[in-house]
Amino acid sequence: MPDLPTRVGSIELRNPVMTASGTAGHGAELASYLDLEALGAVVTKSVSADPWPGNPAPRVHQATAGMLNAVGLQGPGVAAWLADELPDLIATGATVVASIWGRSVDDYRRAADLLADAPGQVVAVEVNLSCPNVEDRSGMFAHSAEATEAAMAVTAGCGRPRWAKLSPNVGDLVPIVDAAVRGGAEAVTLVNTVMGMAIDPATRTYRLGNGGGGLSGPAIHPVAVRAVHDVAAARPDVAIVGAGGVLDGETAAELLVAGASAVQVGTATFADPRAPGRVAAELVDWCRRHGVEHADELIGAIHGHDRRS
C-alpha cells in the first residue's frame, strides 16, 4: 500500500490532500461527510481581524466547467472564530491550517497577531493575498510584489509557518513568489480563482450581486497546473500547495508531478461534500496502480526532481 506523508515547508502532513479555504466552512461543517482527521489538513475559510458581512446575493453562479463566486469573504472575525468555530474542528482530530485576509497591511497584522495563542493543532497560517471576489483589481495584494512582501512581513506574529495564497491573474508569478518568500512565507498556495463574470443578456444584469467574481473548478485546472509547474521550475526550493480543479486522484497526482508538495480540494466539495476524502483515497489507489510507493516519487517529477535523495 502506498505511503503518502508529505512535507510543506517545515510542516509534515499525513497525506497530500487538504480542503481549500472557503469551501469547507469555518469549522467542522464537513465532519458528518468524511473523516477530517484522515486528511492532510483542513484549511478553514478566510477570516479577517474584524467581522465582515461579505457581498450581496446572489453570490454563486454555475459556469460551464466550474463556478463563479462573489461571496466576499464573509466571516465572524478571528476572535469569534477561535472561540466559536475552531473548538469543534479540533475535536475531530483534524490538522488545521487557518486562513486570514485583510484590506490593509495593518488588517493582516492584527489578524495574525490574534492567532498567536491558537491551539497547537493550528499548524500553519495561509495568508490569503488574492481575493478576486472583493473586486478591487488595483488593490489586490497578490498583484504587487511590494504589497505581497509587506503583507507577509507583518503576519509573523501568528508564531506559525505561513503560506502565501497567490493569484493567477498576473503576468509573471515568480516575482510575486519571491516577494512572498522575502516576507516570510514558507510555502505558496497556487492558485486562487481566476477573475470572471457572467451577465444575463435577457435582463441586461449581472448574474452575481457584486458584478464580477472568481472562477473556480475544472475550468481552471490547466491554469493551476501551469502555475505550479512554472514556479517549481523557477524556484525549486519553494514549497508549493497546488489548488484549482482537483476532482479525483489523477488531477491531484498531476499537480504533484508539476511540483506541488500537497493539493487542496475546493469547488468539488460543493457537488460532493465527501470530495476531499474521496480524492485522498483515489490518490492512494492511483499510486498503487502506477507503482508509486511514496509521495516524493511524484513531487516535481516532471522537472526531474528526486526528493528521495
Q: Tens digit of pLDDT for each residue in 5-49?
A: 999 999 999 999 999 999 999 999 999 999 999 999 999 999 999
Helix (H) or strand (E) holding 61: strand 60-63
Q: State the amino acid at position 215 in one-letter form.
A: L
Tell me, what DSSP letter sits at residue 266? -
**Rounded (10°) CA dihedral 269, 40, 170, 51:** 70
> How far is Cα of residue 73 from the mean position of the Cα atoms in its chain?
14
Residue 201 located in a structural domain? no
Helix (H) or strand (E) holding 68: strand 66-69
Dist. CA 215–CA 213, nearest whole Å: 7
Dist. CA 27–CA 204, nearest whole Å: 38
Q: What average pLDDT is seen over the chain?
A: 94
Which is it for the CA torsion 179, 227, 294, 162, positive or negative? positive
Q: Decide the pairing of beta strands 162-165 and 187-190.
A: parallel
Q: Percentage of residues in the chain with pLDDT exceeding 90?
A: 90
Q: Which residues, listed in sequence order, are joined to residue 102 by a DSSP beta bridge?
A: none
Residue 162 located in a structural domain? yes
Task: Count CB-CB contacts under 10 A for residue 106.
Answer: 12
Q: For the chain, how big is the Rg over CA atoms in Å?
A: 18
CATH assignment at residue 258: 3.20.20.70
Residue 60 located in a structural domain? no
Residue 286 located in a structural domain? yes
3 state SS of 121: coil
Q: State the amino acid at position 271 in one-letter form.
A: A
Residue 117 located in a structural domain? yes
58 prior amide bond cis, ω within 30: yes
Residue 64 located in a structural domain? no
User: How many CA atoms are closer than 13 Å to the CA of 253, on its beta-carbon side?
Assistant: 20
Q: 282: which 3 cell numbers?
A: 483515489
Domain with 268, as residue range(s), is: 6-54+72-195+215-303
Residue 1 located in a structural domain? no
Residue whose cell numbers read 498583484: 143
3 state SS of 140: coil
Q: 77: which 3 cell numbers?
A: 472575525
In this model, does residue 112 exceed pLDDT 80? yes
Q: How many helices (H) and strands (E) does the chain have?
A: 9, 16
Residue 40's closest CA among 21, 19, 15? 15
Judged by average pLDDT, the poorest of 60-64, 123-127, 257-261, 281-285 is: 60-64
Residue whose cell numbers read 511524484: 298
Q: State the amino acid at position 126 in one-letter form.
A: E
- Supply the pLDDT for residue 309: 47
- Supply the pLDDT for residue 306: 62
Q: Please state the domain count of the chain.
A: 1
Residue 308 located in a structural domain? no
Residue 191's closest CA among 177, 179, 211, 178? 177
- Give catalytic residue positions: 131
- Supply the pLDDT for residue 74: 92
In this model, does residue 136 exceed pLDDT 70? no
pLDDT (tens digit, 9 = 90+) per residue, 174-219?
Answer: 999 999 999 999 999 999 999 999 999 999 999 999 899 999 999 9
Residue 278's closest CA among 31, 54, 20, 35? 35
Whole-prediction pTM: 0.95
pLDDT (tens digit, 9 = 90+) per residue, 257-299?
Answer: 999 999 999 999 999 999 999 999 999 999 999 999 999 999 9
Dist. CA 301–CA 309, nearest whole Å: 13
